[in-house]
Amino acid sequence: MRLFLALPVAGETQAHLAEAIARWRRTMPEVKWEAPEALHLTLQFIGEWVEEREAELAAALGDIAWEPARLRVAGTGAFPDAREPRLLWAGASAPGLEQAATAIARRLQPLGIVPEERPFTPHITLGRLPRRERAGDWRRTWESPGPLWGEIETGGFGLYESRPEAPPAERYRLRHWFG
């Protein structure tokens, strides 16, 4: 199974992003948009993991100190860059978020999970472009730097299973909650 750790996006923030995705879907049909119910901020990608070892993950993270914080979701951007966008995102920030992601990565290293080499860039993936597609007129449609989408109380984070064969709204299944 493919696993990752993330903060879910819910409430008014999810509703605001869902409205924007619905608008963008009409003007940028080449983008594979995320289902609003599946929106999240990834803290750590774990990758393929056998179910028999799931308890090791829970034990490694079970007593991690998670300070509740207010996640501010604002603006939009693209990876790897605006000239060649492959992934369209909403920005996110919260006091201590980067330190929390680093602490999580350190806890998982002894289990053989390699930390991401790129710097942690808090974001919520909204859509992906197929490799051969260009997002045509996306810069005029895209709301960069974009509005404040909302704020989310982060009382913890989840261990999610990615199920690519599931319908978009059910693609990510919560397996464990920490916090």
Yes or no: say if 163 and 153 are a contact pair by the CB < 8 Å rule.
no
Q: What is the CATH T-level fold of the domain 2-178, as seen in this structure?
A: Cyclic Phosphodiesterase; Chain: A, (3.90.1140)
CA distance 99 to 101: 5
CA angle 90, 96, 99 (to 5 degrees): 100
Domain extent listing, the chain: 2-178
**CB environment 39-48: b (16+ within 10 A), e (fewer):** bbbbbbebee
Active site residues: 40, 123
16 by DSSP, 3-state: which? helix
Taking the model in full, what pTM does it have? 0.91
pLDDT of residue 168: 85
pLDDT of residue 99: 93
- What are the residues facing 160 on neighbouring strands? 4, 174
90 by DSSP, 3-state: which? strand
Residue count of the chain, please give it.
Answer: 179
CA distance 128 to 168: 13
55 by DSSP, 3-state: which? helix
Pairing of strands 87-93, 172-178: unpaired
The type of residue at 13 is T
Yes or no: say if 115 and 109 are a contact pair by the CB < 8 Å rule.
yes
Per run of 10 residues, the mean pLDDT along the chain (length 179 residues) is 96 96 89 94 96 96 90 91 84 93 95 92 92 59 72 94 91 94
Reference 99, options 66, 63, 123, 59; nearest CA is 66
Reference 36, options 72, 10, 61; nearest CA is 10
Neighbours of 5 (CB within 10 A): 24
15 by DSSP, 3-state: which? helix
